[in-house]
Amino acid sequence: MRPRALLDLISHCRSCAVNLGHTKIAQEDLTKGLSLYSTDLVREIGLEIRDVLPEAEDALYAFIDVSSRIDEGQLRGLLEPLNLNREQVTRLTEILLWYGFLGLVGEDGEVQYIYSLNYDMRLLTGRIRRATERATERAVYAINPAFWPGLGIRQTGKRN
C-alpha cells in the first residue's frame, strides 16, 4: 500500500533468509516473511483501531479463516460477536476501509481499496452506496491479500 510497507516486507523476508543461513532470499523465505509481515500488519492495524474505537480493538480477529470476499450481511455477521451498536459497526466498517483492510468489489470484479482512490473516503463510500443501490444484492467486500496469511483468509472469487 505504501513504500514503507514494501520495505517492511523485504526486511521480514531478509531476516528469514539470514536466520536460516541462506545467502540469497529463497521462496521459503518469501513465504515465511510474508506471513510474519501479515501478522505484524494485523497487530498494527488492531492498535490503530483501538486508538479510534477501543471497543473494536480485536475486530480483525473476527475474520480468522473466512473467505477473501464477503458481502455486507456476512460482514455484519462477523462483527456481531463484538457487541457493537449499529453506529459503532458503521464506524468500524469505515475504519476497515480507511486502513485498506477491506476494499469494494466492483461489478467488473476488480477491487477498489482506499489507496487506489487516492485516500478519498467520500469517493469510496459513495461507490459503496451506489453499488448497494444498483445491485439486487448487498455490496461485496474483498479482504486485502496482505492480511490473508496473518488471519488464514481463504481466497475466493476473482483478483483481490
Domain segments of the chain: what residues?
3-151
pTM here is 0.84
How does residue 37 score in pLDDT terms, banded at 50, 70 and 90?
confident
Q: Which three cell numbers stand for residue 76?
A: 455484519
Closest by alpha carbon to 63, among 152, 159, 157?
152
Q: Residue 133 pLDDT > 90, yes or no?
A: no
What dihedral do alpha carbons 130, 153, 13, 24 form, nearest 10°?
Answer: -110
Tell me the per-residue pLDDT of 88-102, one tens digit each, with 9 for 90 and over: 999 999 999 999 999
User: CA-to-CA distance for 61 and 20, rounded, in angstroms?
Assistant: 30
Give the pLDDT confidence score for residue 155 in this predicted structure: 84
Confidence of residue 2 (pLDDT cuts 50, 70, 90): low
CA distance 51 to 46: 9
Lowest mean pLDDT, pick from 27-41, 58-72, 80-94, 123-137: 123-137
**Virtual torsion, Cα 57, 62, 66, 72, nearest 10 deg:** -90
